[in-house]
Amino acid sequence: MGANKKYNHEDVSQFVTEDLKSKIAEDKAELQRMDFGHNVTPLDNPLSIRTKRRNVARLLTELNKRNKA
């Protein structure tokens, strides 16, 4: 999925828990790189940072929901 692709509930719920954890770590690292890169040189699409941050939040919400169940 590209940086601008928003995860749907169906997309997130299809991940296995281990894949979900690895995707969270991967997306957090990419978000950090994007944020640092944007501070040095502006991105072509700064809204991609917002999209990535919200995708990480969606993944964390699904992981927390699974841990509570």
The number of domains in the chain is 1
The string of pLDDT tens digits covering residues 33-49 is 999 999 999 999 999 99
Buried residues in 15-33 as b, exposed as e (16+ CB within 10 A): beeeebeebbeebeeebee
Measured at the alpha carbon of residue 60, what is the angle toward residues 40 and 46, in degrees to the nearest 5? 25
Using 50, 70 and 90 to split pLDDT, how confident is the model at 3? low
Cα–Cα distance for residue pair 60/47, rounded to 1 Å: 20
Residue 2 pLDDT exceeds 80: no
Q: Would you state the pLDDT for residue 68?
A: 93
6 domain residue, yes or no: no
- Residue 2 in any domain: the answer is no
Answer yes or no: is 10 within a domain: no
pLDDT in tens, 14-34: 999 999 999 999 999 999 999
Supply the range of the domain harboring residue 62. Answer: 16-39+46-68
